[in-house]
Amino acid sequence: MESPAKIVIQNFTFQYGVFAALKDLNLSIGANQIFAILGPARSGKTTLLKSMNRLTDLIFGTSHAGRVFIDGREIYEPEVSLPELRRRVGMVFDLPTALPLSIFENVAYGPRFKGLRDKSRLEEIVEQSLQAAVLWDEVKDRLHSSGLKLSGGQQQRLCIARMLAMEPEIIMLDEPCSGLDPISTASIEKSLMTLKEKYTILLVPHNIQQASRVADRVGFFLGGEMIEEGPAEDIFTRPKMKKTEDYISGRFG
Ligand SMILES: Nc1ncnc2c1ncn2[C@@H]1O[C@H](COP(=O)(O)OP(=O)(O)O)[C@@H](O)[C@H]1O
Ligand SMILES: [Mg+2]
């Protein structure tokens, strides 16, 4: 069964000054699935993620045309609350590092910032978020030691847990496994499979193999254009476009 569309992007063009980093994009992303954004460097993948929660508003000289709807509401309307949008649409960048706080406080940071003081409720949120990020078992006995002492892969999952504690609906991960060993990568991929039951996930995969392991649907981007989009299996086994085939068979990128 097709899941209902969580994100609908219509004729969306995004510019840095006069340079169009995304060109006339039309795309629907269903709820509770992993949508992988595939493409070589500078194809517009990060720009697409950042324009879904308007992090791009922070960059001087940008402009857009077209529309983006989340649950049917246009996110570029002036009355949209940006803190609320960014809570609902969370993002973890590549190579994130923990805050210089304990593991517990790293995760409790967002709920505390929103004013939550109840100790047992905070403990509950911290445990649930660490469980969902598949980190709980590794850290439950040292929640009060520094988050900075964790390995790279653990810090990445800690940052995912911190985002989950904000109760997002859409989670965006930009090359979450760059620089990680295969075991940490496998842990992150395992957590994604569980997370999609509750969230809609936009993933810029670390490589093509990762996309083929975890993605439900894939969009292939090149030079700011979406060349083709479809079920992961189709994209990887019978792409319609020559450019997609060249990319997935490793002829460029
Ligand atoms: N802040 C910025 N200012 C100007 N150009 C940018 C900025 N960020 C990205 N770009 C340009 O937009 C294009 C797409 O970049 P990006 O979205 O980062 O691609 P990807 O994530 O696929 O590597 C690139 O040509 C890049 O140079
Ligand atoms: Mg990028």
Nearest CA residue ID for atom 7, ligand 1: 16
Over residues 128-154, the mean pLDDT reads 93
Each residue's pLDDT tens digit, 42-68:
999 999 999 999 999 989 999 999 999
From the list 45, 42, 10, 5, the residue with the least C-alpha distance to 211 is: 45
Mean pLDDT of the chain: 93
**Structural domains in the chain?**
5-248 (3.40.50.300)
- Specify the pLDDT at position 206: 87
- Specify the pLDDT at position 231: 97
| pLDDT greater than 70 at residue 2 | no
More confident residue, 162 or 252: 162
Question: Which residues have CB under 8 Å from 73's CB, separation 6+?
Answer: 80
More confident residue, 188 or 35: 35
Question: pLDDT grade, residue 188 (50/70/90)?
Answer: confident
Question: pLDDT grade, residue 178 (50/70/90)?
Answer: confident
- Specify the pLDDT at position 77: 96
Q: Which ligand is nearest the CA of 47, by number?
A: 1
Nearest CA residue ID for atom 1, ligand 1: 59
Percent of residues, the chain, with pLDDT higher than 90: 81
- Specify the pLDDT at position 252: 67
| Dist. CA 121 → ligand 2 center (Å) | 36
From the list 8, 179, 195, the residue with the least C-alpha distance to 90 is: 195
Q: Which ligand is nearest the CA of 56, by number?
A: 1
| pLDDT greater than 90 at residue 114 | no
Nearest CA residue ID for atom 20, ligand 1: 42
Each residue's pLDDT tens digit, 7-22:
999 999 999 999 999 9
Residue 2 phi/psi, 5° resolution? -70, 135
Percent of residues, the chain, with pLDDT higher than 70: 98
* Cβ 129 vs Cβ 162: under 8 Å: yes
Ligand 1: residues with CB < 6 A are 16, 19, 21, 39, 41-47, 59
Distance CA 246, CA 119 (A): 54
Over residues 120-142, the mean pLDDT reads 95
